[in-house]
Amino acid sequence: MRLTQILSLLLLSYAGFGQTTSPNQLRSDQGQPSPSERALLVPAKPASVPAVAAAEARKLLADPHTVVLDVRTPAEFATGHLQNAKNVDFRATDFAQQVARLDPKASYVLYCASGNRSGQAAALMQQKGFRKVTNAGGYNDLKAAGAK
């Protein structure tokens, strides 16, 4: 790769800093970005979000300072939820705004139906500066483990 191509990629990356750019959005001369180009295009992953077993989650949920977030839809939340859980729908168009209103210094335990959405939501929260975020997995697993 020539120096001018590298500089061009760096400038494009800098111009789009803070924006997610798919490797498919930019192409090199050969059609696909090289591994070094991909490193410039794909943002670094945040620190991994701790996922805990339901029994461990029960301990975290017992802490009165922990904020419990149910990231399922309001319809799912209405069928049952953990005590003191706040419903912040991961699929809602205003999810980012709802998260922005939360205290980034607080400790959060997130759950959903299976642990997938709560894991994604926790990763997004970490990207926004939240440091104490735990994925507790699925609601039914938590209930089966005795979470209230």
Report whether pLDDT(65) > 90: yes
- What does the angle CA 123 – CA 132 – CA 68 come to, to the nearest 5 degrees? 85
- Reported as a single tens digit per residue, the pLDDT across 66-122 is 999 999 999 999 999 999 999 999 999 999 999 999 999 999 999 999 999 999 999
Q: What is the DSSP letter of 72?
A: S
Structurally, at CATH architecture level, domain 54-144 sits in 3-Layer(aba) Sandwich (3.40)
Residues 6+ apart with CB under 8 A from 130: 99, 102, 104, 108
Structure tokens at 44: 């670094």
The CA–CA distances, whole Å, from 69 to 39, 43, 109, 116 equal: 33, 26, 6, 14
- Reported as a single tens digit per residue, the pLDDT across 19-33 is 444 444 444 344 555
Question: Burial, 124: exposed, middle or buried (Cβ in 10 Å; 0-12, 13-18, 19+)?
Answer: middle
Per-domain boundaries in the chain: 3-41, 54-144
Give the pTM: 0.67
* Stronger pLDDT, 139 or 30, i.e. the higher one: 139
Query: What mean pLDDT value characterizes the chain?
Result: 79
